[in-house]
Chains A and B, each alone.
Chain A
């Protein structure tokens, strides 16, 4: 028996109806693509259906009972998200479409006129292991403003190369934006240490928590201020919530100084033809009708995770990741990209199989019911760093069992024999 697994794993699996379905040929589904998107528990599905069946109305502007109920449901979801990340203030939680929109909101508003506006001579620091969502917006914005984009490299073991940290983070640094957990290498980055350095030079710290929020307990209020990010984003669909909803959390101090991103309904205080004044946070950054049912679903999702407990989920992920790393090590010709110690990594494991292209690996695994991701996982620079163009990635979650890891390892050995490798 592997220690650390969620004690009620079989009960938890029953919460996720999709895990019961079979694939072509009657094969059971072995879903190992949760870093791409997670599956949804019944309670999220039911909550969204109930909202649409019984409480649907636009929010904040409808004067009738349904409007009040919908508004209440939407704002309660904000409270639940705030509790999930330990936000110091619930109004600091802003709903976006996904993590990408959150990062674009931040990068763009930092390029608009205002206290933090980027310009020539300013530096933005990211890392080589970012998802494209935390690279491209900064490229666009630094090109537009004349600021300089710099980045941390990655060591052979898949960790951030911090040797040059004192040179990289300097008095010209205005923004440091990095991922908490890498979606390709699985690496957990020392965000507290980096935030401390960045804050010491007065830079704003942005953390992409898209892969961290699903599996690490986050308590922003409990972090020492010097180590707390100023802005943090994650995406709803990776925390057992629906697609179409994401979260930007920001400290009031920073959010209040950022100009609006999108203009429109609900983000204003008053509008005259000569000009407008804007609502306070969170509404300032939520122009237009938001994804209401999705927000309500996300509220149910983070509440569900909270009931199980993020500490327990993290322990489970570590146990499964450790078991998977052991299993993968038995497959001849397989090389894991990223740290090999489960204590230092999240539940996404990218690997190469000598002699078989990742696309072909994923195809053969799929024929055995094992769903993984193949490609560059929106992290082309991180792949280039390891001299590969693509990789195969398995990623687990709270519903993943050791049996599923066994099925993966078995299917990988089958893949080798299918392509006649020894």
Chain B
């Protein structure tokens, strides 16, 4: 692949769309019936930052991700991946969401060898090209790592 094709594989239209019009951005107050946890994650090499709040509702054992609200500064990849995360995980049970998280992680850590499952990852498959750029994998994972950290805390 030429450098230009690699670049297009990295910056898929879907990614640029999410970057320009991010889903779920902004920190929101949790509703009365929701439990929440906040985390702040930083990518020390580039300085990208995210404050992410997971809103959880439901009985222990069958809790759902009621919302994921966040404030973030960073590059197109890190911003788009937070937007995709919001789109994919909100409304799922935590167990389902953890499963999606696992798939996304495997895709990103697969060095470009993992074939993404569109059924599970939907717009997230656009990040397959990022996996070939080791320096950018951390950008794509910033919000996902924050989400997992916050969810474990919110679940208590």
Interface: B2 (CB within 8 A) = yes
Contact A374 to B46, CB < 8 A, known contacts A359-B77, A363-B10: yes
B4, B6, B75, B133, most chain A CB atoms within 10 A: B75
Instruction: Please tell me if the beta carbons of A389 and B7 are within 8 angstroms of each other in the complex.
Output: no
Instruction: Please tell me if the beta carbons of B46 and A368 are within 8 angstroms of each other in the complex.
Output: no
Instruction: Please tell me if the beta carbons of A24 and B45 are within 8 angstroms of each other in the complex.
Output: no
B6, B16, B46, B49, most chain A CB atoms within 10 A: B46
Q: Give the Cβ gap from A14 to chain B, nearest Cβ, in Å.
A: 26
1/0 per residue, CB under 8 A from A, across B55-77: the answer is 00000000000000000011111
Q: Which of A222-230, A235-243, A375-383 touches B?
A: A375-383
1/0 per residue, CB under 8 A from B, across A365-392: the answer is 0111100001110001001000001100
Instruction: Please tell me if the beta carbons of A360 and B76 are within 8 angstroms of each other in the complex.
Output: yes
Instruction: Please tell me if the beta carbons of B47 and A375 are within 8 angstroms of each other in the complex.
Output: yes
* A366 neighbours in B (Cβ, 8 Å): 3
Instruction: Please tell me if the beta carbons of A375 and B2 are within 8 angstroms of each other in the complex.
Output: no
Contact A375 to B46, CB < 8 A, known contacts A25-B2, A367-B7: yes
Question: How distant is the Cα of A24 from the Cα of B139 in the complex, in angstroms?
Answer: 23
- How many of chain A's residues have a CB under 8 angstroms from any CB in B? 24
* A360 neighbours in B (Cβ, 8 Å): 11, 75-77
Instruction: Please tell me if the beta carbons of A367 and B3 are within 8 angstroms of each other in the complex.
Output: yes
Instruction: Please tell me if the beta carbons of B49 and A363 are within 8 angstroms of each other in the complex.
Output: no
Instruction: Please tell me if the beta carbons of A376 and B46 are within 8 angstroms of each other in the complex.
Output: yes
Interface: A334 (CB within 8 A) = no
Interface: A358 (CB within 8 A) = yes
Interface: B136 (CB within 8 A) = yes
Interface: A150 (CB within 8 A) = no
Contact of B4 among A23, A25, A358 (CB under 8 A): A25
Contact A419 to B6, CB < 8 A, known contacts A363-B136, A376-B46: no
Question: How distant is the Cα of A302 from the Cα of B7 in the complex, in angstroms?
Answer: 39
* B46 neighbours in A (Cβ, 8 Å): 358-359, 374-376, 390
* B77 neighbours in A (Cβ, 8 Å): 359-360
Instruction: Please tell me if the beta carbons of B75 and A358 are within 8 angstroms of each other in the complex.
Output: yes
Interface: A200 (CB within 8 A) = no
Interface: A162 (CB within 8 A) = no
Since A383-B47, A419-B16 are in contact, a sample of 8 more A-B pairs with Cβ atoms closer than 8 Å, ordered by chain A residue number, is: A356-B76, A359-B139, A360-B11, A360-B76, A363-B7, A376-B46, A376-B47, A390-B46
Q: Residues on B close to A: CB < 8 A?
A: 2-4, 6-7, 10-11, 16, 45-49, 73-77, 79, 133, 136, 139
**Pairs A–B under 8 Å by Cβ, sample size 21:** A25-B3, A25-B4, A357-B74, A357-B75, A358-B75, A359-B46, A359-B48, A359-B75, A359-B136, A359-B139, A360-B75, A363-B7, A367-B4, A367-B6, A374-B46, A375-B45, A389-B48, A389-B74, A390-B48, A418-B11, A419-B16
Q: Residues on A close to B: CB < 8 A?
A: 23-25, 27, 356-360, 363-364, 366-369, 374-376, 380, 383, 389-390, 418-419
Q: Which 6 A-B pairs have the closest CB atoms?
A: A359-B75, A357-B75, A367-B3, A367-B7, A25-B3, A375-B46
